């Protein structure tokens, strides 16, 4: 049995053939035309093993993986258990390089700029704690920074005397100039780095990262991007963002195994960047120095390959158009309700699948509890920066009947 075979099984030919057979009678529809084709998306839905006992509309936290990914994890885990130190360290370790190459191709960058880790927090903490900065140096975040990143920066503030500047983002907004200005207003000659959320986790708002990055680069400021909710969701490649660093969780929109993530670092920064878990050569210019985690979940990492295959088979553009369609499907059917409000734009240039809504006279927790008790709809309450509501996050396996149930339940609130 060769290492290559187990490290990178070929794409499931049955799945690919079935995809072609389903699409052929449709006359090669565009992604937009396919967005509301329920026959096609019903087939995709049955590639998952989602619960029939509840309606999961919190796919933003962590997404289920399709059956082909579950099967891969089980297969790699079973073989590992025959002789863990042999298969995981001598056979499967070699497979990480193929996964790195596939991720790099998907991201549009060099494999020598991609490190495989566990999640966005690990990726961005590696960046935050690895930057050389001195007392009095400034960094810019937004008022919608994710808590884990906020805590990492706060620790550096407390220990080292760094100075935080906060961009107050208008929300929701489709005004690129206003969003960019929120950041540039905070830039000074002392600013060393800016952290930008590609998709704001609290609301689903997509930020114009490239436009903000362009202004930062004019001032010699490093750009790091929180891509937890954008990778394999929005249509882009990392170079489009003009950033130096990018972190994401692959178990969100790529639907890869739980606890898998990816760090991108521009090659020129690697040698001077400190690793979170140091290896034998802290000044190495090898991206792999950021993978020194000790014993890790190698079977889960290898199954990232099946998640990439599945994503490519569905198609990135088809996937985005469906996700945005699902979001608009329920929003359009409740927007006339008196007292309802939305914290995310409807414009596909500024939104994808996620949207947080509020209801006059109800807290986010009350909305969350009502949806669950009335219809067993699983969501997440959001309370942050004047937002008090519930985030609704469908995924490509979500049925329109699930969203019809959501709409009917929201209408019962008034």
Q: What is the pLDDT of residues 373-406, one digit of tens each?
A: 999 999 999 999 999 999 999 999 999 999 999 9
pLDDT(183) > 70: yes
pLDDT(10) > 70: no
Spell out the domains of the chain, with CATH numbers in brackets.
88-307 (3.40.640.10)
Identify the pLDDT of residue 9: 44
Q: What is the pLDDT of residues 231-266, one digit of tens each?
A: 999 999 999 999 999 999 999 999 999 999 999 999
- pLDDT bracket for residue 325 (50, 70, 90): very high
Mean local confidence (pLDDT), 359-376: 98
Q: What percent of the chain has pLDDT over 70?
A: 95
H helices within 271-413, ranges in order?
A: 298-302, 304-314, 316-334, 364-375, 400-411
pLDDT(95) > 90: no
Q: What percent of the chain has pLDDT over 90?
A: 86
Identify the pLDDT of residue 5: 41
Cβ-Cβ contacts under 8 Å for 272 (sequence gap 6 or more): 132, 283
DSSP string, 175-205: -HHHHHHHHHTT--TTEEEEEEESB-TTT-P
- Dist CA 263 CA 290 (whole Å): 9
- Dist CA 261 CA 53 (whole Å): 29
pLDDT(3) > 50: no
Task: Fill in the DSSP letter of residue 380.
Answer: E
Cα angle for residues 259, 292, 194 (degrees, 5° grid): 70
Ranges 29-38, 104-113, 120-129, 143-152: which has the least confidence:
29-38
């Amino acid at each position: 049995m060769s290492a290559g075979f187990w490290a990178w099984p070929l794409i499931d030919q049955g799945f690919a053939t079935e995809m072609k057979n389903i699409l052929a009678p449709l006359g090669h529809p565009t992604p937009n035309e396919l967005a509301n084709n329920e026959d096609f998306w019903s087939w995709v839905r049955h590639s998952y093993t989602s619960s029939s006992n509840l309606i999961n509309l919190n796919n933003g936290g962590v997404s289920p993986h399709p059956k082909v990914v579950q099967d891969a994890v089980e297969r790699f885990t079973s073989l590992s258990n025959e002789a863990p130190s042999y298969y995981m360290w001598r056979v499967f370790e070699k497979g990480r390089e193929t996964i790195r190459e596939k991720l790099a191709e998907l991201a549009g960058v060099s494999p020598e700029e991609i490190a495989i880790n566990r999640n966005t927090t690990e990726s961005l903490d590696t960046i935050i704690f690895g930057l050389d900065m001195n007392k009095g140096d400034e960094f810019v975040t937004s008022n919608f920074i994710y808590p884990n990143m906020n805590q990492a920066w706060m620790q550096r503030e407390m220990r080292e005397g760094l100075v935080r500047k906060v961009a107050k983002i208008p929300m929701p907004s489709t005004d690129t100039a206003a969003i960019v200005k929120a950041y540039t207003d905070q830039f000074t000659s002392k600013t060393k780095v800016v952290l930008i959320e590609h998709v704001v986790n609290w609301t689903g708002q997509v930020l114009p990262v490239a436009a903000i990055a362009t202004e930062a680069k004019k001032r010699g400021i490093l750009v790091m991007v929180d891509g937890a909710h954008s990778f394999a969701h929005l249509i882009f490649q990392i170079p489009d963002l003009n950033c130096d660093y990018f972190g994401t969780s692959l178990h969100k929109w790529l639907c890869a195994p739980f606890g898998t993530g990816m760090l991108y670092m521009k090659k020129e920064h690697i040698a001077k960047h400190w690793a979170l878990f140091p290896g034998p050569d802290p000044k190495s210019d090898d991206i792999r120095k950021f993978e020194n985690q000790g014993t890790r979940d190698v079977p889960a990492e290898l199954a990232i390959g099946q998640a990439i295959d599945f994503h490519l088979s569905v198609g990135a553009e088809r996937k985005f158009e469906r996700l945005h369609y699902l979001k608009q499907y329920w929003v359009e059917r409740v927007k006339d309700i008196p007292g309802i409000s939305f914290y995310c734009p409807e414009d596909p240039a500024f939104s994808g699948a996620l949207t947080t809504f509020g209801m006059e006279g109800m807290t986010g927790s009350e909305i969350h509890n009502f949806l669950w008790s009335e219809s067993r709809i699983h969501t997440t309450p959001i309370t942050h920066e004047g937002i008090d509501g519930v985030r609704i996050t469908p995924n490509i396996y979500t049925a329109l009947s699930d969203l019809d149930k959501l709409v009917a339940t929201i209408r019962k609130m008034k």
